[in-house]
Structure 1
Amino acid sequence: MAKNVLITGAGRRFGYELANHLIDEGYQVFAHYNSSKNGVEALEQRGAIPLQADFNEPSAVQSLIEQIKKKTDTLDMLVNNASCFFDNETVDSDTDALAAVYNVHAVAPYLLITGLQSLLEHSDNPLVVNITDIYTDSPSPSYIAYCGAKAALANMTQGFAKTLAPKIRVNAIQPGPILFLPDHDDAHRQKVMSETPLNVEGGLQPMIETVKFLRDNPFLTGESIKVDGGRSLNI
């Protein structure tokens, strides 16, 4: 029987690559997206079930939960990966952006974990993976709201690990410089690499391998694993 996974923010970068990898392993992927369906359309052609929801609207999260419950009674893995990234200047001038940072990174994962708990409990090895950030431990002064929201998700990881045990395991991954954005110039890339002890752009495969490690080790819960080439040592 195919295992079921919900990946939020599945249309690009890590979410997209993880979805493809799990499809290769035989998973039925529920691929969440917000505004851009480009990557999700490719996943849909491979058998993924696309689900649109604006995580800035809690009611949309609840609707997504109900859609999933109509399609399956078991969920083996939930990967809270959806993200939005605003600096101080943006959230200071736009309260909607400030609200979005906390809705996407904290409110939506909370609603998904609690709303899908009954489906996760039907799995033999249920796992929640929250994608946080290395800056949850040492926040960037330029992205205070973002870091605060990710820190909330990191704290919820431990809280849910306590309350959902022993049935459901909850862990987190803290990515570092895994994949630069197209708008990152050479100066930015060189600066980041100079601060990263392993001095390499990690790519997405180490993140995928960490998800598999968390899935396949049944004695891990409440953990937060840094996948950052050591950069957190220098921030």
Structure 2
Amino acid sequence: MQKTILITGVGKRIGLYLAKAFLVRGHRVIGTYRSHYPSIDALTELGAELYPCDFTDQTQLEALIQTLAQNYQQLDAVIHNASLWLSDDDTAGIDQVIAQMMKVHVYAPYQLNLALAQLLQNPETMTDIIHITDYVAQKGSKKHIAYAASKAALENMTLSFAAKLAPQVKVNAIAPALICFNEHDDAAYREKAKAKSLLAREGGEVEVLEAIDYLMRSQYVTGRSLALDGGRHLK
């Protein structure tokens, strides 16, 4: 059965992978992106319905919410994948670092969940909201304190929205550690990163897709965070 799935941050990496995978399966994919990469044109050619939106800009976010409310009558899933990664010593300044990451990881999902909750109400089946958080939401990070804090807030919102939107809408989180390297990552960095987990490997985007499949199929899981970390918590 075809589903209508909203995925934020589809321009690259996990978001791009998920959008392509759901399109290949014949689902209707709605996506948002901050920057226009060639991948955006490729997704459009595959049939994705895409909307530019910088989640650090409240005006753009409000315009997106209005557009979604006007153009769609029902959603089967909302996957909050959009992410911003800045270090605490970024040249933007500490006030901008925490503010921008809270906007992307907290304010935007919060507002989208509230605004789109009505579109997720389907009397015939359960629907889903899935927050992509991060391994550091539970562990913290000495070098990326603001990032970890914002992802922890997103993970906490999973609990609140699960309680608020039950029983019709399931709300869960996925907390990945190392999923895939960037092309420019050198061999030494890759080996050091892989050694941080028991399984000593990168998970691959398919691990996120399969976790999402599990959560969307489930009729009995809500308010939970599913760790994808290769046993990193035991190192």
In 2, the alpha carbon distance for the partners of 1:184 and 1:134 equals: 20
Contact residue 10 and residue 32 of structure 1 kept, 8 A: yes
Equivalent positions of 1:1-235 (< 5 A) are: 2-90=2-90, 93=93, 95-122=95-122, 124-234=125-235
Any idea what SS the aligned residue of 1:116 has? helix
Moved more, 35-44 or 100-109: 35-44
**Which sits farther off after the overlay, 168-177 or 184-193?**
184-193
What residue identity is the alignment partner of 1:39?
S
Distance in 1 (alpha carbons) for counterparts of 2:37 and 2:119: 26
Identity %: 35
Distance between the aligned counterparts of 1:116 and 1:197, measured in 2? 39
Q: How many residues align?
A: 234
Tell me the alpha carbon deviations over residues 18-44 of structure 1, each in whole angstroms, 9 at most, x when there is no partner.
Answer: 111111222111111011242121111
The letter for the 1-side match of 2:2 is A
* TM-score, L = length of structure 1: 0.95
Letter paired with 1:46: L
Supply the distance in 1 between the matched residues of 2:221 and 2:77 (Cα, whole angstroms).
14
Return the offset for 1:233: 2.6
| SS of aligned partner of 2:89 | helix
Q: Distance in 2 between matches of 1:57 and 1:140?
A: 26
1:68 shift after superposition = 1.4
| More moved, 80-89 vs 119-128 | 119-128
Q: Work out the CA distance in 1 between the residues paired with 2:144 and 2:96.
A: 16
Q: TM (normalized to structure 2)?
A: 0.95
Q: Which amino acid aligns with 1:6?
A: L
Q: Contact conserved, 1:74 with 1:119, CA < 8 A, in 2?
A: yes
Give 1:125 deviation, angstroms: 2.3
Amino acid across the alignment from 1:228: D
Separation in 1 of the partners of 2:234 and 2:74? 39
Q: Does the 8 A contact of 1:73 with 1:122 survive in 2?
A: no
Contact residue 91 and residue 145 of structure 1 kept, 8 A: no
Distance 1:9 1:22 in 2: 15
Structure-2 separation of matches of 1:187 and 1:119: 47
Deviates further, 215-224 or 64-73 = 64-73
Q: Structure 1 unaligned runs (5+)? A: none
User: Would you say the 8 A contact 2:177–2:228 is kept in 1?
Assistant: yes
Residue aligned with 2:220, SS: coil
How much has 1:91 moved relative to structure 2?
6.8
How far apart are residue 122 of structure 1 and its match? Answer: 3.3
| Alpha-carbon RMSD | 1.5
CA deviations on 1:43-100 (whole Å, 9 max, x unpaired) are 1101110111010012222211111122211010000000010111017725333311
DSSP-derived class of the 1:130 partner: strand
Q: Provide structure 2 residue ranges, at least 5 long, that are not aligned to the other structure.
A: none
Structure 1 residue matching 2:32: 3-state secondary structure = strand
* Cα 1:193–1:115 shift into 2, 3 Å: same
